[in-house]
Amino acid sequence: MTIAKRESIHGQWSSRLAFVLAATGAAVGLGNIWKFPYILGQNGGGAFVMVYLACILLVATPILITEIMLGRRGRRSPVNAMAELVREERAPPAWRYLGWMSVVTGFLILSYYSVIMGWAIAYVKQAATGSFTGLDGASIKGMFESFVASPMELLFWHTVSIVITMLVVARGVRAGLESFTTLFMPLLFVILLLLVGYGMSTGAFGQALGFLFAPDFSKLTATSIVVALGHAFFTLSIGFGTIMAYGSYMPERASIASTALFIVAADTAVSLLAAMAIYPVVFAHGLEPGAGPGLVFQTLPIAFGQMPLGLMFGTLFFVALVLAAWTSSISMIEPVVAYFVESRGWTRGRAVVVLGFAAWALGILTVLSFNHWAEIRLFGKNFFELLDFVTSNIMLPFGGLMMAVFATWFMRRSSTVEELGLSNAAYTLWRVLTRYVAPLGILVVLLNGLGLLG
């Protein structure tokens, strides 16, 4: 049996397009529409955006290619794919632990991601029942604040998001994951364009563009560079195994690099559009760019409350946001589920229920960190902020670093040449970026952020 013939026991995507859409669905999510706009506001705007884009191009894209490659070559869930590759490439056995990161990290991220996805579901209801109509900025803000102040309400919507995530994952790769992604991504894109159009009519569009694209590097701190790097990983869903798991379902002949470039382009476009939709509203209504996690929920409803057909567009927007989050949340739990099915002999259903429940329980801590426990802080962060910081900004870049090192220092060159199937020039570019630029970049940013480099 040649290596390339290995098949995943979970099935395969039906086509290259299906893989592209599913991976784009995993990438495009709350990270683009909820997180990117608020972290860029907290980190001073344009300069942060520049650093983020540099991280995407020089670090995250080569690692995305690497991660898809590891998954497709291993043809198993990350834990077993790594074990397989370690054996095949005669790498030191400790590399197997890299696969385990996917189990832990995916889980931790899902626990809080699902809480925020719950906010988006709750806002579908608000939008559809016309709650935003005619409200000013202060009332929209008050509405959000009283919403997150209620643990029971957050818990209810968090439960809804975990349950719908489990339902899809339980149905398996093709029936569950694939069919969902196709329809709503284009819709989301169109509504964002429309909102950018609304932003142009607010009179603050120029100010917003200035904030987003005119860099003021004096606003950049070591921590904001760590955040920009971490977000490049988070938004592309790389660094722990989601993409490895998805890559293992990828058909053999599809080109890994061009697929990756498409995913990056779509993901970046959605993030920039979201920012260009939100910031005109922020400035037109005198709101705070540094408002934090509530930003999108405190700005776009103002636009929906005032624009023609706002009820319809508002509802569609939040529906699309939920779907984008949903296609991401299923991707977080997929590697873990796949592992328990392969190696522990569990049925898919059992794995989904047990793991989903555990993530749900952990999510309660995030629910509480927006109300009762908001003031319980470690390193100046509440539980949600700490979990988000550690997973996105430390664990994902670290996982990515390890993948890059494994693929370019421990795998045979001939294996990566074969699996990537690139032209010489493109292969060399990938190799230089993955072998030197990305690992060094990650190390410097992380150490600098931890204050170890002075």
Name the residues that contact ligand PHE, by CB under 6 A.
26-27, 29-32, 109, 234-235, 237, 242, 328, 331-332
- As measured in angstroms, the least distance from the Cβ of 332 to ligand PHE is 5
Using the minimum distance from each CB to ligand PHE, give the nearer residue, 411 or 442: 442
Using the minimum distance from each CB to ligand PHE, give the nearer residue, 109 or 127: 109
- As measured in angstroms, the least distance from the Cβ of 391 to ligand PHE is 8
The rounded distance, in Å, linking the Cα atoms of 97 and 78 is: 10
- As measured in angstroms, the least distance from the Cβ of 439 to ligand PHE is 20
3-state SS string over the chain? CCHHHCCCCCCCCCCHHHHHHHHHHHHCCHHHHHHHHHHHHHCCCHHHHHHHHHHHHHHHHHHHHHHHHHHHHHCCCHHHHHHHHHHHCCCCHHHHHHHHHHHHHHHHHHHHHHHHHHHHHHHHHHHHCCCCCCCCHHHHHHHHHHHHCCHHHHHHHHHHHHHHHHHHHHCCHHHHHHHHHHHHHHHHHHHHHHHHHHHHCCCCHHHHHHHHHCCCHHHCCHHHHHHHHHHHHHHHCCCCCHHHHHHHCCCCCCCHHHHHHHHHHHHHHHHHHHHHHHHHHHHHCCCCCCCHHHHHHHHHHHHHHHCCCHHHHHHHHHHHHHHHHHHHHHHHHHHHHHHHHHHCCCCHHHHHHHHHHHHHHHHHHHHHHCCCCCCCCECCECHHHHHHHHHHHHHHHHHHHHHHHHHHHHCCHHHHHHHHCCCHHHHHHHHHHHHHHHHHHHHHHHHHHCCCCC
The rounded distance, in Å, linking the Cα atoms of 407 and 435 is: 8
The rounded distance, in Å, linking the Cα atoms of 86 and 421 is: 21
Tokens 């971490």 belong to residue: 230
Using the minimum distance from each CB to ligand PHE, give the nearer residue, 51 or 109: 109
Using the minimum distance from each CB to ligand PHE, give the nearer residue, 32 or 126: 32
Using the minimum distance from each CB to ligand PHE, give the nearer residue, 208 or 263: 263
Contact between 266 and 31 (Cβ < 8 Å): no
Using the minimum distance from each CB to ligand PHE, give the nearer residue, 158 or 431: 158
Using the minimum distance from each CB to ligand PHE, give the nearer residue, 27 or 140: 27
- As measured in angstroms, the least distance from the Cβ of 67 to ligand PHE is 11
- As measured in angstroms, the least distance from the Cβ of 102 to ligand PHE is 9
Q: How far is CA 337 from CA 50, 121, 424, in A?
A: 37, 25, 37
- As measured in angstroms, the least distance from the Cβ of 109 to ligand PHE is 5
- As measured in angstroms, the least distance from the Cβ of 79 to ligand PHE is 16
- As measured in angstroms, the least distance from the Cβ of 160 to ligand PHE is 18
User: Could you give the angle at which helices 151-170 and 97-128 cross, rounded to 10 degrees?
Assistant: 120
- As measured in angstroms, the least distance from the Cβ of 325 to ligand PHE is 7
Using the minimum distance from each CB to ligand PHE, give the nearer residue, 114 or 328: 328
- As measured in angstroms, the least distance from the Cβ of 423 to ligand PHE is 29
The rounded distance, in Å, linking the Cα atoms of 373 and 366 is: 9
Using the minimum distance from each CB to ligand PHE, give the nearer residue, 106 or 172: 106
- As measured in angstroms, the least distance from the Cβ of 393 to ligand PHE is 12
Using the minimum distance from each CB to ligand PHE, give the nearer residue, 33 or 302: 33
Amino acid identity of 29? G
The residue whose Cβ lies closest to ligand PHE is 31
- As measured in angstroms, the least distance from the Cβ of 233 to ligand PHE is 8
Using the minimum distance from each CB to ligand PHE, give the nearer residue, 32 or 393: 32
Task: Tell me the Cα Rg of the chain.
Answer: 21
Using the minimum distance from each CB to ligand PHE, give the nearer residue, 395 or 422: 395
